[in-house]
Structure 1
Amino acid sequence: MKRKTWITAIILVAIILVAFVVFPTSKSNSSEITATVQKGPFEILVYSSGQLEAQNSENIVVPAQLQDRDVRIYEINITDLIEEGSVVDSGDYVATLDQKTVEEVLNTAREELETAMNEFEDAKMDSNLTLSGVRDQIINAREEVEEFQIVLDESVYESPSVIRKAEMDLDKARRKLEQEKNGYVLKERQAEAKVERKKLDVQQKQTRADKLEEIYHSLVISAPKHGMVIYGKDNSGEKIKPGSTVTPWMPVIATLPDMSSMLSLTYVNEIDISRLENGQRVKLGIDAIPEKELEGEVVSVANIGQPMPKSDAKVFEVKIRIFGDVSDLKPAMTTSNTIYTNTLTDTTFIPTEAIFENDSLQFVYLKKGNTVKQVVDLGDQNENMTLIRKGLNEGDVILLTVPENAEELALEGLDIYQEIKERKIREELEEQKKIEADKKKPYVPNNNKRGNPSGGMIIIG
């Protein structure tokens, strides 16, 4: 009997459990997640991750002569480079540049110099020969003048026609002599100019060969001072490494950062960038040192955005100066940045997840006896909360989840929606008026500003 009683009890319990699972008692309000409208101070924050870099650093670059356009070496490879993060003293070895590239150009420059020197010597010889021939012609012309003078003197007793002919021959000989003298002056100038050009060409090629000679003997790069070596970046933003190419336009091989003053370089999306300005307070966390928290401030906000890789979105570069002890920080460490863009003292706000949208309406599910859809006028938001301009009061209870009968709920606050529409129309009209007014303003150049007379933004392509 006892055994049958136990079996019966077990079966009854099992039936009851199945009934609870298959036929739940109700889909009651216990599944609803609610929140209360709060009122108080509200901080508008922007979050971003960044990377540490030194505020000041000294660049290790290719030899200065290599940056001279006359050298005509437009790129050169790095054949060897010490490990990034190595600590060096002034004069210590850092890198070696490709000697073959310079050697080939140097040999060509020497050949060009030799050719130019030969042409210079040839030009001097040609000038001497040409001028010598013209001098002989002048001597001959002078002798002709003397001969015709003698003929004229001896024809004093001849007929007038003979005398006239002798006079004409003498005049012609004199004109020829003057022409030869003038021609000599011109040819002398031409010869001097030709020789001078060849001489200048030799000097230029000699200077270039000397520079290449200096470059060839300066391809072993040394550190200018004590510091930690951090690799530079090429045109694509990739870090320099052995085999990388440097150019006169991007000559940086590595940098020696000043570790006493650090920045966090971060990128902020275009939605949040309008909230940022210099001087705003920042809290920074260091991913590699979780227990370390630092203070900082925004010191630079880019005016021009740049596209994110593999995305249509744009981001803006922001630099944050770090305060406090930075002795244990290293360049390229990742930072978590919290930027305090604004603090409002007495505001109404709710969790952002409590806001729902239907077409152009933004509303919450408000519990006041019966649940209703309440239209709300939204303000700024931070990571978790959104400001409420109108539609809710402190202490109101709202749902964080969509209720089951959402489609049947009444919609309240259409007057708020109408106010929002009218405000947006006014703002658009004011913006349009401002644009039209700016177009009508006459252009007044400001000649006191050097380099950018208009005082506008310069965009470099």
Structure 2
Amino acid sequence: MKKKLLIGGGALVLLLVVFFIVRGNKSNEVADVMASVKRGPFKVEIETTGELEAKNSVKILGPSQLRDFRIWNVTIQSIVDEGTVVKKGDWIATLDRSEFQNRFNEKQIELEKANSKYVQTQLDTTLTMRQSRDELVNLKYAKEEKKIILEQSKYEPPATIKQHEIDLEKAVRAYEQALENNKIKKKQNIEKMREVSAELRKVQNEFGSMTKVMESFNVTAPEEGMVIYEKGWDGKPIKAGSQINMWEPTVATLPDLTKMMSKTYVNEVDVRKVKAGQDVQVGLDAYPDKKLTGKVIRVANVGEQRPNSDAKVFEVAVEIDGTDPSLRPSMTTSNRIVASVVDSAMFIPLECLHSQADTITYVFRKDGINTIKQEVIIGLTNSNDVVILAGLKEDDRIYLSVPPGMEEDEIALLKEMNGKRKKKEDKPEEKKEQPIKTLPTASN
């Protein structure tokens, strides 16, 4: 008998222990899924990653005149290491000149031909003008001879005199025609020389320009600074073996490290919240303990699609406050853009919100021993919380998840609650209150 009592008592104690353990777990579970409506400062922050770059920098350019010779791309054969500190005139890079060398050789041959043509034309015009002058001299002598013959024939028969007069007129006419022809030939030769001279000058200028371009294939620093590689269309740095196009022939840059900025990208959903002048908290992966501040100085008006991403983003430039010698271009940054700040607002965790047909937003509010499916009006949101404009009051208790069995319950709408209050205030006491209409639930 005593043994049975001992066994029964032990079983009872075990049941009580299990009961209290389960009860404690349930109360902890309930506590874990509940949250309170809080009031306090509310910040809307947008977190992005980016990288540092100088706000101002000097571009190191390759030969931009290559497009005049229909050369659109040039390969970088070798380039100085990124981060190298250089002085003005120091070597930066050497570009592949093989394609341009062919054009240069062709232009050199063209220059030799133009020179030869100029000399040949000069000799031809000289010879032509000499022959014309000799002809004029001879015709002048012939005219003088005819004149002397006519003067000596005054005692000869009239027919002979007449013949001599005709011969003199022919000689005078031939001389005058030759004189006019000489003037025309002189003008012709002047124009020929002007034409070949212009052609020669053109080829000489082109050859001179090509000579300068040939020298620019060795790229040098325009001033002193630290060399930072330019990034190509794919976002990758330009290096040996890369190509530069002649519409943007930048090989590298010399940044001004006294004023830095963080270049980041914001997705198209959040970009409407970002404006110039907003404060930004900037962190550095290289220096986790260093906290920087800055301001948004520029937001792109046109979105773009970054490599390896399907989402559209907008470029945002953040200027870093002050000067820090430890900052270097291309350092990875974490940017927290403060889009807006409310000094005092009621807010709850985002997990508490639910919606019906994307038109009504509601929460599950604890009201004593009851739970109410309560409509709420929301305001600003951030990554964790949402502002409540109506439907809740401070310190209300709400569920983080849907309580079991309440998925199909009706929603307590704000307009119905307001209407109920109004009826209680306006209607006489002797009249009975009309039942409040409610929207059908999803199951109906």
Q: TM-score when scaled to structure 1? A: 0.71
- Provide the rounded CA distance (Å) in 2 between the counterparts of 1:291 and 1:137: 100
Q: Deviation at 1:144? A: 10
Q: Secondary structure at the match of 2:362?
A: strand
What whole-Å deviation, never above 9, does each CA across 1:241-300 have from its counterpart, x for those lacking one? 111222432222111222222110111122222222222111111012111111111122
Asked if structure 1 preserves the Cα contact closer than 8 Å seen for 2:258 and 2:324, the reply is: yes
- Provide the rounded CA distance (Å) in 1 between the counterparts of 2:399 and 2:106: 81
Q: Deviation at 1:325? A: 4.8
1:25-424 correspondence to structure 2 within 5 Å: 30-31=29-30, 33-63=33-63, 66-67=64-65, 70=68, 73-128=71-126, 185=183, 188-311=186-309, 313-369=311-367, 370-413=370-413, 415=415
What whole-Å deviation, never above 9, does each CA across 1:164-195 have from its counterpart, x for those lacking one? xx99x979x95x98777666555544433332
What whole-Å deviation, never above 9, does each CA across 1:107-156 have from its counterpart, x for those lacking one? 222111101111222333444456567768878998999999999999xx
User: CA 1:373–1:180 in structure 2 vs 1: closer, same or farther (change >3 Å)?
Assistant: farther
- Provide the rounded CA distance (Å) in 2 between the counterparts of 1:24 and 1:345: 41
Structure 1: gaps (5+ residues) = 418-461
What whole-Å deviation, never above 9, does each CA across 1:205-241 have from its counterpart, x for those lacking one? 2233233334434543333444322111234443111
Asked if structure 1 preserves the Cα contact closer than 8 Å seen for 2:363 and 2:376, the reply is: no
Asked if structure 2 preserves the Cα contact closer than 8 Å seen for 1:366 and 1:396, the reply is: no
The residue type equivalent to 2:407 in the other structure is E
Asked if structure 2 preserves the Cα contact closer than 8 Å seen for 1:265 and 1:318, the reply is: yes
The residue type equivalent to 1:76 in the other structure is V
Asked if structure 2 preserves the Cα contact closer than 8 Å seen for 1:35 and 1:398, the reply is: yes
User: CA 1:287–1:147 in structure 2 vs 1: closer, same or farther (change >3 Å)?
Assistant: same
Asked if structure 2 preserves the Cα contact closer than 8 Å seen for 1:357 and 1:363, the reply is: yes
Q: Secondary structure at the match of 2:290?
A: strand
User: CA 1:131–1:412 in structure 2 vs 1: closer, same or farther (change >3 Å)?
Assistant: farther
Asked if structure 2 preserves the Cα contact closer than 8 Å seen for 1:355 and 1:362, the reply is: no
What whole-Å deviation, never above 9, does each CA across 1:418-448 have from its counterpart, x for those lacking one? xxxxxxxxxxxxxxxxxxxxxxxxxxxxxxx
User: CA 1:119–1:96 in structure 2 vs 1: closer, same or farther (change >3 Å)?
Assistant: same
Q: Secondary structure at the match of 1:341?
A: strand
Asked if structure 1 preserves the Cα contact closer than 8 Å seen for 2:133 and 2:182, the reply is: yes
- Provide the rounded CA distance (Å) in 1 between the counterparts of 2:197 and 2:329: 53
Asked if structure 2 preserves the Cα contact closer than 8 Å seen for 1:87 and 1:228, the reply is: yes
Comparing 140-149 with 224-233, greater Cα deviation is found at 140-149
The residue type equivalent to 1:124 in the other structure is Q
- Provide the rounded CA distance (Å) in 1 between the counterparts of 2:91 and 2:110: 34
The residue type equivalent to 1:399 in the other structure is Y
Q: Deviation at 1:318? A: 1.2
What whole-Å deviation, never above 9, does each CA across 1:371-430 have from its counterpart, x for those lacking one? 33322222221221222222222222222112222332111226399xxxxxxxxxxxxx
The residue type equivalent to 2:119 in the other structure is E
- Provide the rounded CA distance (Å) in 2 between the counterparts of 1:409 and 1:178: 123
Structure 2: gaps (5+ residues) = 418-444
Comparing 215-224 with 198-207, greater Cα deviation is found at 215-224
Q: Secondary structure at the match of 2:327?
A: coil
Asked if structure 1 preserves the Cα contact closer than 8 Å seen for 2:60 and 2:250, the reply is: yes
The residue type equivalent to 1:376 in the other structure is V
- Provide the rounded CA distance (Å) in 2 between the counterparts of 1:179 and 1:371: 124
User: CA 1:144–1:324 in structure 2 vs 1: closer, same or farther (change >3 Å)?
Assistant: same
User: CA 1:360–1:133 in structure 2 vs 1: closer, same or farther (change >3 Å)?
Assistant: farther
Q: Deviation at 1:337? A: 0.6
Structure 1 residue aligned with 2:424: none
User: CA 1:371–1:178 in structure 2 vs 1: closer, same or farther (change >3 Å)?
Assistant: farther
What whole-Å deviation, never above 9, does each CA across 1:20-58 have from its counterpart, x for those lacking one? 9xx999988935612222222211212111100112222
Q: Number of residues paired by the alignment?
A: 398
Structure 2 residue aligned with 1:446: none
Q: Secondary structure at the match of 2:340?
A: strand
Q: Please tell me whether Structure 1 or Structure 2 has the larger radius of gyration of its CA atoms.
A: 2
User: CA 1:326–1:138 in structure 2 vs 1: closer, same or farther (change >3 Å)?
Assistant: same
Q: Secondary structure at the match of 2:288?
A: strand
The residue type equivalent to 1:402 in the other structure is V
Asked if structure 2 preserves the Cα contact closer than 8 Å seen for 1:53 and 1:262, the reply is: yes
Percent identity reads 37
Structure 2 residue aligned with 1:427: none
- Provide the rounded CA distance (Å) in 1 between the counterparts of 2:207 and 2:371: 88
- Provide the rounded CA distance (Å) in 1 between the counterparts of 2:25 and 2:75: 75
Q: Secondary structure at the match of 1:274?
A: helix
The residue type equivalent to 1:50 in the other structure is G
- Provide the rounded CA distance (Å) in 1 between the counterparts of 2:259 and 2:131: 77
Asked if structure 1 preserves the Cα contact closer than 8 Å seen for 2:66 and 2:213, the reply is: no
User: CA 1:179–1:354 in structure 2 vs 1: closer, same or farther (change >3 Å)?
Assistant: farther
Q: Deviation at 1:310? A: 5.0
